[in-house]
Structure 1
Amino acid sequence: MAARPEKSVLSIQSTVVFGYVGNKSATFPLQVLGFDVSTINSVQFSNHTGYKCFKGQVLNSDDLACLYDGLKENSIGSFSHILTGYIGSKSFLEKVAEIVVDLKKNNPSLLYVCDPVMGDNGKMYVPDELLPVYINTILPIADIVTPNQFEIENLTGVKINSEEDAIKAMQILHDKGPRTVVISSSEFSHDTSIICLASSVTNGHKEVYKVQFQKLPAIFVGTGDLFAACLLAWLEKESGLKLALEKTISTLQSVIKRTLDKAQALAGEGNTPTPAQMELQLVQSKADIENPPLTHSASAL
């Protein structure tokens, strides 16, 4: 068996020319944290879809197969991790599953980190036909999954109104295959806080953690992609889920607070920042990405 490649990620998700979502949001932090990153872009847009318009291209499953074949034929398709995010079509997602299986066949120690990007705030923004593919095909081959509350509710059929509901939903995903399940954001508390919950099973031993933090008065784009990338990195670099989760959340909070401060300064007092002003301040947060100030702690449940 070939040795596990050292810190090399194949990241398959969206990208934009301007701004930070998808691969643009994930690549820089992974590189700063010592990972080689190879990217395949499921879509390439001028900017994220929250602007007044966007233009660009969408890859289909044949395009994905062609790119992967090129890697294989040159014997450059060996990775320690595969990371997936936004995928907009059923056939593309099915081809991703084939690629993950093929990569794991050649390297059984490869870790698949899946951010099942399907929707948020009660709304799906991918076709409904992707949901059964995630449930029946992707979850059984994923090692780590990072859904938000809306996504895990759809993946499990469990409505989350409490920590107990969340733990039940995470166990359903464990039973499908992934050994680590992280709900990147959930809002079921009676105040304005957001709760992140994480569960991991190793050799029959289960650990569950919670991190709670205040919701900021703004909408951020690309944070889920940043979350999955940082979690991948810190789970690899640290020995335990607790510290990896704390470093990931602390990184996210540093980035979004810097982003909001900059956006409000640019917009001026009393004005709502534009989408361009609200783009994540990733490069400006390089020091915090490398060495996150531990501003948030995880409590065991």
Structure 2
Amino acid sequence: MAATRSASASASAQKSAPVSVGNRLAVRSGSPLKTTSTLNRREPVEPAGRTANKINTFLLLVLHFVVVGICRQQISFVILSEHDYTMNFAGYPTFKGQVLNGDQLWDLIEGLEANNLLYYTHLLTGYIGSVSFLNTVLRVVNKLRSVNPGLTYVCDPVLGDEGKLYVAEELVSVYREKVVPIASMLTPNQFEAELLTKSRIVSEQDGREACNIIHAAGPSKVVITSINVEGELLLIGSHQKEKGQPPEQFRIPIPKIPAYFTGTGDLMTALLLGWSNKYPDNLGKAAELSVSSVQALLVRTVEDYTRAGHDCQSSSLEIRLIQSQDDIRNPEIKYRAEIRGN
């Protein structure tokens, strides 16, 4: 989970300050971020386990957000986080580290509140593995919106992929009934969209109808980040600018890359948050930039592994973030949104 302050946040919210939260330290960077030329196992300059919060934090820093990260799996390497990182993450066969429960998360929030640090412009959540923690996230959203009613909550409802759940089945109903209604933007994959809408997606039209169901539940912006239908890999986007009005919908065809990567969902959601903040009324533009960044990063990753003599189809590849900062900050748009009828 990452809470962000855009670079235009109030001066009182921009003082650089180390904030003690229990026995951890949250570091806030104060002034608008300046960057120079903003998801590894075999790359010594990047520590292993750069996933979820690590990806989100890095990307949003590059896109000029001030970030405070709170992640459930304490893998403690992250710079802007309250965690004790090991060198692993839950995607590897073996991982270590503490797991925050809901009460511990709330303790962190109370620590931020005690230091008058609850004004945030955006909240981003990804993988959450327990009902306790997810229910506390709901409390966090309400708490943050009591301070800033305009808080944008971007939710990547990580439930599973390709017909397989990653989490306990009981979380599905909590997402569907409690989380979706309060989200500003939802970024499910095909399987997750099916679970949340209780529908099957076997065509592009099915994907757009699933977006309509999600709009009716709450979020004004929906991006189904990948669907495999009719021989194509597509991103489906939908923006309902006014409740009750037909949404603006589009698709972006995405080339298939014969490799498996760690962290593409986290990467896409963080980019969508960042670019949607710059283009709040043009989700298609935000998606074009996000897809173009992701594809550039994946191509660079494959090239890097291939040069090292690695078989890119033999195991999951960890995305080359550090080398790809220009593609994050200023991507060349190669993938265009195709407007679709409602």
Question: Which TM-score applies when normalising by structure 1?
Answer: 0.91
The aligned runs of 1:162-173 (5 Å cut-off) are 162-173=203-214
Partner of 2:135: 94
User: How do 1:1-301 residues align onto structure 2 when only pairs under 5 Å count?
Assistant: 6-7=6-7, 18-45=48-75, 46-190=87-231, 193-203=232-242, 204-238=245-279, 239-268=281-310, 275=316, 278-301=317-340
Q: Does the 8 A contact of 2:154 with 2:183 survive in 1?
A: yes
Query: Cα gap change, 1:135/1:17 in structure 2, threshold over 3 Å: closer, same or farther?
Result: farther
C-alpha distance in structure 1 between counterparts of 2:266 and 2:149, whole Å:
25
Is the Cα contact below 8 Å between 2:5 and 2:66 reproduced in 1? no
> C-alpha separation between the residues in 2 aligned to 1:47 and 1:196?
30
- The ranges of structure 1 where at least 4 consecutive aligned residues each deviate by more than 4 angstroms after the TM superposition are 270-275
Structure 1 residues 64 and 17: CA distance shift in structure 2, 3 A = farther
What residue identity is the alignment partner of 2:174? Answer: V
- Secondary structure of the structure 2 residue equivalent to 1:196: strand
Distance 1:184 1:66 in 2: 33
Query: Is the alpha carbon distance of 1:73 and 1:151 closer, same or farther for their aligned partners in structure 2, counting shifts above 3 Å?
Result: same
SS of the aligned residue for 2:70 comes to: strand
State the alpha-carbon separation in 2 of the partners of residues 41 and 50 from structure 1. 15
Q: Note if contact 1:71-1:77 (Cα within 8 Å) is conserved in structure 2.
A: yes
Equivalent-residue separation in structure 2 for 1:121 and 1:48 (angstroms): 21
CA distance in 1, matches of 2:54, 2:246: 36
Contact 1:86–1:117 under 8 Å retained in 2: yes
In structure 1, what is the Cα distance between the partners aligned to 2:236 and 2:72? Answer: 28
Change (3 A) 1:89 1:209: same
Greater mean alpha carbon deviation, residues 198-207 or residues 151-160: 198-207
Change (3 A) 1:245 1:272: closer
- Aligned-CA RMSD value: 1.9
Gaps of 5+ in 1: 11-15
Read off the aligned partner of 1:6 and give its amino acid letter.
S
Q: Equivalent residue for 1:13? A: none
2 CA distance for matches of 1:280 and 1:77?
32
- Taking a change above 3 Å as real, the CA distance of residues 5 and 49 of structure 1, as seen in their structure-2 partners, is closer
Amino acid at match of 2:73: V
Which stretches in structure 2 are left out of the alignment for 5+ residues?
A: 10-25, 27-45, 76-86
